[in-house]
Amino acid sequence: MSLTLICSERFSDHQTPPGHPERVERAEVMNAVAAQARARGHQVTAPHPASVEQLARVHAPEYVARIAETGGRAVALDADTYTSAESYGIALLAAGAAVDAVKLVMSPERSEDRSLQRPGRGRPSGRPEVNAALAMVRPPGHHAERARAMGFCLFNNVAVAAAHARSEGAKRVAIVDYDVHHGNGTQHIFESDPTVLYVSLHQFPFYPGTGAADEIGRGEGTGFTVNLPLEAGAVDEDYRLAFSEVVVPVLSEYDPDLLLVSAGVDAHERDPLAGMRLTSGAFAAMTSELRRVAEQRSDGRLVLVTEGGYDLRALAESLEGVVESLAAGSSDTPWPAAAVASDRGRVAVNAAKRALSAYWKLG
Ligand SMILES: [Zn+2]
C-alpha cells in the first residue's frame, strides 16, 4: 500500500467574502490533516499548477482566459462563486493537484505491466498493491461546467484529472462522487463519453437541481452516468446499501483502469449546508469499499480529490478517517453499526436499477 497526500498552504490564498461557507479555514484543516499524516510516515507533496492545455481538455479556452483575467481582482462569477486576487493561480494549483495525483498512481512502468497482464476483463490472479493519492484542495471543482463557474467551483479538478488519465493511456476511468451535491459539471463534461463513467450519490432534490435517476448519459455515453438521488435525511445505512447494490457492482462490471473519487464530506450530519446524516465513520467505510474496488479492478490505482465539506470539525474527522482507512492497507474499515432505519437508500437504489438495468447487471 502506498499513500501520498497532496496539499499546500497556498490553498489559503483563495479568499471568499465574509460568512462564505467555502472559507480559508478549510485549507487550514486540510493542512493539519496532511501534517498529521506526515508525522505518521505518509508522503506529503506540494502540487504543481495545471497547464492551460490540461484545463482545455475539459474547459472552453475562452472560459479559461476569462478566469485568468480575474487575476488581481475580486470578482463575483455568480451568486455564490467568487474570486480574490490570487484565485486563478490557486485554482490552477487545485486542478494541478488532481493531475499530480493521477501521475503518482499511473507511472509508466505500471501501465506497461498492465498491458502485458490484462487481455480481458477482471484480474486473472493476484491482487496488485494499492497505489493511492489524496489531493486536498480548494476551491472545489465538480460544479464547474465546461464554460461556467458555479457552486464555489472555478475549474473542474476531478474532470481535469480524468482527462489527463485518458491522455496518458487509461482506457476507462471511473469517477465516484459522494459529495452531497450532484456534480453537474462532471456529469455534463463526460455524459456522451463511455470512457469516463460517472457515479454520483447526492441529496435530491437539492442544489444544483440535476442528478435525477433517469439522467443516464447521452449518445455513446448512455448508461455511463449513474445517479443515486437520495432524499434529505439519509443515514450511513442508506449509503451502505447504495454501495453494495449499485456503486460496487457497476464499478466491478465497468472494470476501470483508474478510480477517481470526488470526496466531498458535506453529507456529514454536522454539515451546515445540506441535510444528510452521515457519521464520520461512513467516509472511512466508503473509502474502504473503493479501495477494495481499486485492488480488484483498477490495478490498485485510486485517486481522491476533495470537494465540499463546510463544518470544520466534520471535515477534519472525515478526512482523518479517509487517510486512516487508506493507511489500513487491505484490512477493511467496516460501516458504522446502523443506528437509525431509513428507506431512502432503498428508494434511490430502486430508481437507479429501473433507469439502468438495461446497461448493468444490477440484480
Ligand atoms: Zn457539495
Q: Can you spell out the DSSP letters for 292-328?
A: HHHHHHSTTEEEEEE-----HHHHHHHHHHHHHHHHT
Q: What 3-state class would DSSP assign to 291?
A: helix
Return the active site residues.
143
Q: How many CA atoms lie within 13 A of 130 on its CB side?
A: 28
Determine whether domain 2-110+129-356 maps to CATH 3.40.50.2300.
no
Task: For residue 273, report the distance from its CA to the centre of ligand 1, in Å.
Answer: 8
Tens-digit pLDDT profile for residues 60-115? 999 999 999 999 999 999 999 999 999 999 999 999 999 999 999 998 554 444 44
Domain residue ranges of the chain, discontinuous segments joined by +: 2-110+129-356
Does the pLDDT of residue 329 top 90, yes or no?
A: no
User: pTM for this structure?
Assistant: 0.95
Give which of 258, 251, 252 is closest to 105, Cα–Cα.
Answer: 258
141 CB burial (10 A radius; 0-12, 13-18, 19+): buried
User: 21: CA distance to ligand 1 center in Å?
Assistant: 11
pLDDT of residue 123: 45
Q: Residue 118 pLDDT more than 60?
A: no
CA 144 / ligand 1 centre spacing (Å): 12
pLDDT digits (tens, 9 = 90+) for 9-22: 999 999 999 999 99
Q: How far is the CA of 189 from the centre of ligand 1 (A)?
A: 18
Alpha carbon of 338 to ligand 1 centroid (Å): 24
Question: Which pLDDT score, from 0 to 100, does residue 341 have?
Answer: 82
pLDDT, one tens digit per residue, over 143-202 is 999 999 999 999 999 999 999 999 999 999 999 999 999 999 999 999 999 999 999 999
How close is the Cα of 111 to the center of ligand 1, in Å?
33
What's the CA gap between 185 and 116, in Å, rounded? 35
pLDDT at 34: 98
Tell me how far the alpha carbon of residue 107 is from its chain's centroid: 21
The CA 151 to ligand 1 mean position distance, Å, reads 8
pLDDT (tens digit, 9 = 90+) per residue, 201-254? 999 999 999 999 999 999 999 999 999 999 999 999 999 999 999 999 999 999
Kindly report the three-state secondary structure assignment for every residue of 76-103. EEECCEEECCCHHHHHHHHHHHHHHHHH
**Protein residues placing their CB within 5 Å of the ion ligand 1:** 179, 181, 264, 266, 308
